[in-house]
Chains A and B, each alone.
Chain A
Amino acid sequence: MDAVIVANALTKRYGRARGIDNVDLAVEKGDVFGFIGPNGAGKSTLIRTLLGLIRPSGGSAQVFGLDIVRHKKEILRRIGYMPSEASYYPRMRVKDVLRLSADLRRMDCEREAERLCDWFDLDMNRQVSALSFGNRKKVSIVAALQHNPTLLILDEPTSGLDPVVQKAFWDLVTQRNEQGATIFLSSHVLSEVQQHCRHAAIIREGRIVVSDAVESLARTNARRVTLRGVDELPQLPPGVLDMHHHRGEAGFLFTGDIKGLMSRLQDVPFTDITVTEPELEEIFFHFYEKAGERT
Chain B
Amino acid sequence: MTIFRREVRSGLRGVVLWGLSISALMVIIMTLFPRVERRAELVTQMMSGLNLLTMALGIDKLEYATPMGFYGIEAGNIMSLGGALYAGITGISMLAKEEGRHTSEYLMSHPVGRFWVVTQKLMALTLLLMMMNLIFLGFGFVAFALVARPVVVEELLNLHLAMLLMMQQIGFMLFGVSAFLRRENPGLGIGIPLMFYFLNVLLNLSPDMQFLRYVTPHYYADAGKIVGMGGAIPWHFVTVGGVTALVFLLLGYIRYLTKDLAI
Complex alpha-carbon distance, A73 and B111, angstroms: 5
Which residues of A are found within 8 Å of B127, using beta-carbon distances? Answer: none
Complex alpha-carbon distance, A77 and B260, angstroms: 20
Assuming the contacts A53-B261, A103-B2, A104-B2, asked whether A87 and B101 have C-beta atoms less than 8 A apart, the reply is yes
- Contact status A83-B106, CB under 8 Å: yes
Assuming the contacts A73-B113, A87-B106, asked whether A53 and B2 have C-beta atoms less than 8 A apart, the reply is no
**Is the CB of A115 closer than 8 A to any CB of chain B?**
no
**Is the CB of B45 closer than 8 A to any CB of chain A?**
no
- Contact status A53-B108, CB under 8 Å: yes
**Is the CB of A170 closer than 8 A to any CB of chain B?**
no
Query: Which residue from A53, A73, A143 sits with its C-beta under 8 Å from B263?
Result: A53
Q: Which chain B residues numbered 7 to 33 have a C-beta less than 8 Å away from chain A?
A: 10
**Is the CB of A72 closer than 8 A to any CB of chain B?**
yes
Which residues of A are found within 8 Å of B101, using beta-carbon distances? Answer: 87, 89-90
Complex alpha-carbon distance, A87 and B106, angstroms: 7
Which residues of B are found within 8 Å of A55, using beta-carbon distances? Answer: 258, 260
For A51, A53, A86, the residue with the greatest tally of chain B CB atoms inside 10 Å of its CB is A53
- Contact status B111-A48, CB under 8 Å: no
**Is the CB of A178 closer than 8 A to any CB of chain B?**
no
Number of residues from A at the complex interface, CB < 8 A: 28
Chain A 64-97 per-residue mask, 1 if CB under 8 angstroms from chain B, else 0: 0000000011101101010101111111000000
Which residues of B are found within 8 Å of A48, using beta-carbon distances? Answer: 105, 263
**Is the CB of B103 closer than 8 A to any CB of chain A?**
yes
A64 CB, nearest partner CB in chain B, Å: 13
- Contact status A54-B109, CB under 8 Å: no
**Is the CB of A127 closer than 8 A to any CB of chain B?**
no
Q: Which chain B residues numbered 69 to 123 have a C-beta less than 8 Å away from chain A?
A: 101-113
**Is the CB of B6 closer than 8 A to any CB of chain A?**
yes
A236 CB, nearest partner CB in chain B, Å: 47
Complex alpha-carbon distance, A91 and B103, angstroms: 13
- Contact status B112-A104, CB under 8 Å: yes
- Contact status A73-B112, CB under 8 Å: yes
- Contact status B2-A100, CB under 8 Å: yes
Query: Which residue from A89, A90, A105 sits with its C-beta under 8 Å from B110?
Result: A105
Complex alpha-carbon distance, A66 and B221, angstroms: 51
Which residues of B are found within 8 Å of A52, using beta-carbon distances? Answer: 108
Complex alpha-carbon distance, A83 and B263, angstroms: 10
**Is the CB of A101 closer than 8 A to any CB of chain B?**
yes
Chain B 228-263 per-residue mask, 1 if CB under 8 angstroms from chain A, else 0: 000000000000000000000000000000101101
Closest chain A residue to B103 by CB distance? A87
Complex alpha-carbon distance, A74 and B113, angstroms: 10
Complex alpha-carbon distance, A79 and B111, angstroms: 9
Closest chain B residue to A86 by CB distance? B106
A residues adjacent to B (C-beta < 8 A): 14, 48, 51-55, 72-74, 76-77, 79, 81, 83, 85-91, 100-101, 103-105, 143
B residues adjacent to A (C-beta < 8 A): 2-3, 6, 10, 101-113, 258, 260-261, 263
- 13 A-B pairs, CB-CB below 8 angstroms? A14-B260, A53-B109, A54-B260, A73-B113, A76-B110, A83-B263, A87-B102, A87-B105, A89-B6, A91-B10, A101-B106, A104-B110, A104-B112
Given known contacts A53-B260, A104-B112, A105-B111, what 5 new A-B pairs fall within 8 Å (CB)? A53-B104, A53-B263, A55-B258, A89-B10, A91-B10
Report, nearest first, the 9 A-B pairs whose CB atoms are least far apart: A87-B102, A104-B110, A54-B260, A77-B111, A76-B111, A103-B2, A81-B109, A73-B111, A83-B105
